[in-house]
Chain A
Amino acid sequence: MTKDAQAAIQFSHVHYQSGETKILNDITGWFPKNHITTLVGPSGAGKTTLFRLCNGLISPDSGEIYIDDQKISSYEPVALRRKVGIALQQAVMVPGTVRKNLALPFELQGEELPEETAKEMIRLVGLDESFLDRNAKDLSGGQRQKVSIARTLVMKPEILLLDEITSSLDRVSQQEIEELIVRINETYQTTIMWITHNLKQALSIGEYTWVMMDGELVETGESSLLKDPQNPRVRTFVKGESE
């Protein structure tokens, strides 16, 4: 990976296991600041677990994670989670309206979401303002993903982690979200990490790519590496995915 960029997140020999099962094994690598990095790999590779570590929902069993060159353990948990925002794979909604969901990060701080921010965010993710009064449980999968992204964005995180937000969506919604991610990166210079198992997306949107398999980081570099991977395991994976 080119070294002209600063590291937003850096991993040094990170291990994580659940019971006796190793889930992440000796992860060492970094995500460049202000860029979009895609994270690809077969299901069960440990991608979601890696994100949960970055947002502080879990801690590594050994090794160190640095956010902006500071040990992750030196951050106060609430501050860390607002700095490193995550949109979870399932796009869970709390019961109530879309507005209530967007207001959640403010509510948790004992504040009210300014109406202007609500409108700005809902428009940014490509939904019109009438959606604010809709019940979250009546949204389609794609709309839920958009609201979930907007809800994380109202915290103005410096780093945004997006976990398979397009995998259950049709082609049109996928494209809208791809454009949205590029727009967020351009508008706020947000550092974005994006898990996808769509390699075309990884090639067209991300500038950098991580390939993970069986809890290991097997390849990292500019996304074009996916066109002609040298690593035989990555080659097999890419071949399998593009069939």
Chain B
Amino acid sequence: MSFLLLGLSLIFVLIPLVLSKTLNLGLEKDAVVATIRAIIQLLAVGYILQFVFDAENFFYIFLMVVLIIGAAVQNARKKGVSIKGITWKLIVTFVFIEVLTQGILLGLNITPATAQYIIPISGMVIGNSMVLSILFLNRFTSEIESREAETELILSLGGTPKQAIHRPLISSIQASTIPTIESQKTIGLVQLPGMMSGQIIAGADPLQAVMFQLLIIFLLLTTAVVTSAMLGFLSYPTLFNERMQLLKPDKQ
């Protein structure tokens, strides 16, 4: 694909802009910003990846993974500002996920230890872990609020913080992982997953593309459950003090 052809594809940006204008949807500004950001970010990533692939140096791969994790933390931490030390908890979670998944993939020789595999897979895994963190943190903070009475009831009857937070915690873990599991039930029926479509368009053997997609699906299952559970168990103790009291935002 050439830059000229890519330029032609901007027609697909013009259509919504015109529609937004005529129907007064007010989407113009966001659409333009999103388009420009996508162009700059993806082209930058493309050039960086090309450089890293050519360099074949593990330090650059490491650097890329650090960047991916940094960006993911930056995005997710905004959702967890009410939880003390959320930045570190996210870093620990993402690093753990990365080490766990790459450890298994590389350790068992499922994928080769090259930039071409490590970077995109890390990107997908950490990206998914970030989305899960945001889902989990949103859910957890609202569960804590809506079940505050029950949490305090259990504390008041001599329950420990762990016992008091058990139901909000478990139901947040469940709720945040359900979309991942649900979407994988219909995968391939309703839409072809992005990565697989991309590979097929780029000329890969469909069966190869499917096998890689399955690998990703399995990885994302692990990512989803491990992310929510880990973040949950790292986070709940900060909601209480050493007198086993549920902390209110102004008393934290």
Name A's B-contacting residues (CB within 8 A). 18-19, 55-59, 73, 77-79, 81-82, 85-86, 88, 90, 92, 94, 104-105, 108-109, 151-152, 155
Contacts and interface: CB of A to CB of B under 8 A. Distances in A.
Contact of A92 (B150, B250, B251): B150
A108 B163 contact: yes
Contact of B153 (A56, A58, A77, A94): A94
A131 to B, nearest CB: 19
A104 B243 contact: no
29 contacts: A55-B156, A56-B243, A56-B244, A57-B155, A57-B156, A57-B245, A58-B245, A73-B243, A78-B159, A78-B244, A79-B158, A81-B156, A81-B157, A81-B158, A82-B158, A88-B149, A88-B156, A92-B149, A92-B150, A92-B153, A94-B153, A105-B158, A108-B154, A108-B157, A108-B159, A108-B163, A109-B158, A151-B157, A155-B157
A92 B157 CA distance: 12
A202 B84 CA distance: 44
Given A108-B154, A108-B163, A77 B244 contact: yes
A57 B248 CA distance: 11
B180 interface: no
Interface in B128-158: 149-150, 152-158
B57 to A, nearest CB: 53
Most buried by B among A79, A94, A151, A155: A94
Interface residues of B, number: 19
Given A57-B156, A92-B150, A18 B248 contact: yes
Contact of B250 (A18, A79, A85, A88): A18
Nearest to A17: B250
A59 B246 CA distance: 11
B238 interface: no
A59 B152 contact: no
A56 B156 CA distance: 8
B141 to A, nearest CB: 19
Given A92-B150, A94-B150, A86 B156 contact: yes
Contact of A88 (B152, B158, B160): B152
B157 A152 contact: yes
Contacts of B155: 57, 81
Most buried by B among A55, A82, A155: A55
Contacts of B163: 108
Contact of B245 (A59, A90, A151): A59
Nearest to A82: B158
A94 B151 CA distance: 10
A94 B153 CA distance: 9
Interface in B155-174: 155-160, 163
Given A77-B244, A88-B152, A105 B157 contact: yes
A92 B150 CA distance: 7
A77 to B, nearest CB: 4
B243 A59 contact: yes
A144 to B, nearest CB: 12
Contact of B160 (A18, A19, A78, A92): A78
Contacts of B244: 56, 77-78
